[in-house]
Amino acid sequence: MTVERYIRIMAGFFVLLSLALGVQASPLFHSEWWLALTAFVGFNLFQSGFTNFCPPSFLLKRLGVPDNGPSCAR
C-alpha cells in the first residue's frame, strides 16, 4: 500500500471513531467533544486538497511506506 491509501484509511477510521464516540444515539457515546475530531480531520482533508500538504505523509514516509507520486505527499 502507498502513503495515499494509508492516509485515506486513517482519515476514514478517525471520522468513524469520532462519530461513534460523539453522537448521542451511538452505543459507544462518550462525549460530544469527540465531534471536534471529525471537524479537525475534515479541515485537514480540505486544506490538503488545496495545498498538497499532508502532515501524516511525513510520518508514513519515515516509517518506510512507499510514495506513489504527488497525490497527497510530496
In the chain, where are the structural domains located? 3-62
- Binning pLDDT at 50, 70 and 90, where does residue 69 land? low
The pLDDT tens digits for 26-56 are: 999 999 999 999 999 999 999 999 998 888 8
Distance from chain centroid for Cα 36: 13
Rounded Cα distance between 17 and 34, Å, is 9
Rounded Cα distance between 61 and 6, Å, is 11
Average pLDDT over residues 5-24: 96
